[in-house]
Structure 1
């Protein structure tokens, strides 16, 4: 009786050991791994940062053509902690910005500009002011200006239009840059270069008329 009990216990123990071993082997074989690419792929949707995801920014003159100085005054509130644009106003942490457009960098007397900004050549024109407002540290590496910048070109255009009005002699805002020439109308017959040349050639004995001349 005792031998029979020992035999059954031995078989039960052996079965348990076998089951445990099989469990370990199976777990290793089917061990989960993190997929190289998580989630599901949705056709037509690009990953963040993929090329072509954002429309290229147009020149600042394009946005200035429809800029609103009143909206620029609201945007300027972000700058008011350091600057004012009042005629005869004093300097704060930043220089007074009255009449800044068209002036050289570092033009306010008595303000301690950084060498980084004073070393930038040129004047505060439309593009330079836009580039400065977009990213001061990129425009003048080493500047003490801590403002992160305005990413939207519409905001920069509005604030530039506002600053332009804070002057005894506001500059005329630029016209929007001309768009590229339109493509030929659909279905239009292609122009034969030889035929065009023949048609343009002056008749014998006659001279061609001169072409008109194209204007911190």
Structure 2
């Protein structure tokens, strides 16, 4: 049974990717991210805007100064990479500027991802 769970976790990329997120709960959980990140298109803060982040290449928001590590990361922000990154930013992208406390709860990760999917970049 444990082996099956580990295999499913490996195939999904993260536990959050295997869970269904709730966008309304994700919006509430995202409040801790809003101190640095806006969801308004073109509005960067301490961190880049997250409007339209799902499906976007990392370090691609115009006008935001990314760390060299993020610029070289080669990531594309999908559900799995977002969940992994918010769980352990400096492990996923060593040298990242993001110093926020990690979001370690897989359901919170899934909820944030579900919310970010609703935030258009337009």
TM-score of the two chains, using structure 2 as the length reference: 0.84
**2:18 is the counterpart of 1:62:** yes
Runs of 4 or more off by more than 2 Å in structure 1?
Answer: 55-61
What is aligned with 1:126?
79
What is aligned with 1:15?
none
Q: CA deviation at 1:89?
A: 4.8
Q: CA deviation at 1:121?
A: 1.2
Q: CA deviation at 1:122?
A: 3.3
**2:106 is the counterpart of 1:150:** no
Unaligned runs of 5+ in 2: none
Q: CA deviation at 1:168?
A: 5.6
Check 1:168–1:83 CA distance in 2 against 1; reply closer, same or farther (3 A cut): closer
2-structure distance, mates of 1:120, 1:103: 13
CA RMSD of aligned residues (A): 2.0
Unaligned runs of 5+ in 1: 1-51, 170-216
2-structure distance, mates of 1:90, 1:168: 11
Which structure 2 residues correspond to residues 33-182 of structure 1 after superposition, within 5 A?
58=9, 59=12, 60-63=16-19, 66-86=20-40, 88-167=41-120
SS of 1:155's partner is helix
Which of structures 1 and 2 has the larger relative contact order (alpha carbons within 8 angstroms, sep 6+)?
Answer: 2
Q: CA deviation at 1:61?
A: 2.7
Greater fraction of residues in helix: 2
Q: CA deviation at 1:123?
A: 0.9
The C-alpha deviation readout for 1:95-150, integer Å capped at 9, x for no partner, is 11100110100111010000111111131112111111110000111111111211
